[in-house]
Structure 1
């Protein structure tokens, strides 16, 4: 299955209504779309690694979630429990978000064209100091761990948490 990552900024007035619009785009185009809070994504490597791990789990029938999008979010969140993965979800108000769109190339392009109407396209995926606190909290990374590894290793510590999801099953 092919996938594309699309990100940007928006102001969400009503989360259920916003999710319904995403669901409609997904249904109309025959794609799977998962939206996540970009503030908790530590770069493109993080999201691609999570997608690959989730798709591999689905192929191996070792997935915890029946929904591919939720399985991707579970890995991206570095969480074993499905409920805990929703910490990567959307919230009302202004926010940066990342969409993972899965399907065939034409369907993905059609879905992204529709998603572009919901958000202002902007690269918000890369790790930066503005994401530090949200990421440390999301992935339970402590100051002692950062002292030992180094500040520049935070994105790698996130990848480690994603990799550990399988070991915690």
Structure 2
């Protein structure tokens, strides 16, 4: 998908237990640095309620990037900040950073050049082909468990859901999450 002259792609992943998480993070950062014109981050999927969350966070981060008023120095980290609705990088990492308990994650890659995203993904697959699996989005979403975690993480009450306009419960929850993401723009 193209947003503000940048392409964004995200890939749901399943991480095998024997993988060194620090190595994965370092690899993502290293590839982004080597390939130039690429920003990437790998996040824990447990608090992603809907893939539109990622696209909205990316769009907000790209706007900040374009206006030169990002909180962080890296676009990938800025996306994580928007996803979490937090100004503090430490808090965003607590919510979306991967760790040894992470089973499902998203690799998010952003670049003005689609070829760079393709190259990044190719290199990543090559390095982790036996340790990380690209999976369908449906594997990430276990509705009731996911909803409970997300409501708790974002401190969303039943009262707030009921007072939010939307066609169904899922849309209402997504709007509550997006409102927290939007608050980050207002706090700058």
Q: Same fold by TM-score, threshold 0.5 exceeded?
A: yes
- 1:93 match: secondary structure: coil
Larger Rg over CA atoms:
2
Q: Which residue of 2 aligns with 1:93?
A: 101
Q: CA deviation at 1:114?
A: 2.8
- 2:43 match: secondary structure: strand
Deviations 1:27-82 (A, max 9, x none): 34332111111111121211100000001011112211111111110001111222
1:8 and 1:119 in contact (8 A); partners too? yes
Q: TM-score, normalised by structure 2?
A: 0.79
Give the alignment's Cα RMSD to 1 decimal.
2.1
2:14 and 2:135 in contact (8 A); partners too? yes
How many pairs were matched up? Answer: 169
The verdict on how the C-alpha distance between 1:134 and 1:83 changes in structure 2, with shifts beyond 3 A counting, is same
The verdict on how the C-alpha distance between 1:94 and 1:127 changes in structure 2, with shifts beyond 3 A counting, is closer
- 2:103 match: secondary structure: strand
Is 1:6 aligned to 2:21, yes or no?
no
Deviations 1:93-138 (A, max 9, x none): 3511111111221110011123333521113466832311221122
Q: Which residue of 1 aligns with 2:133?
A: 120
**Which ranges in structure 1 are unaligned for 5 or more consecutive residues?**
none
Higher deviation after alignment, 127-136 or 155-164: 127-136
The correspondence for 1:160, drawn from 179, 183, 187, is 179
Q: TM-score, normalised by structure 1?
A: 0.87
1:10 and 1:95 in contact (8 A); partners too? yes
Equivalent-residue separation in structure 1 for 2:102 and 2:155 (angstroms)? 25
Equivalent-residue separation in structure 1 for 2:135 and 2:145 (angstroms)? 15
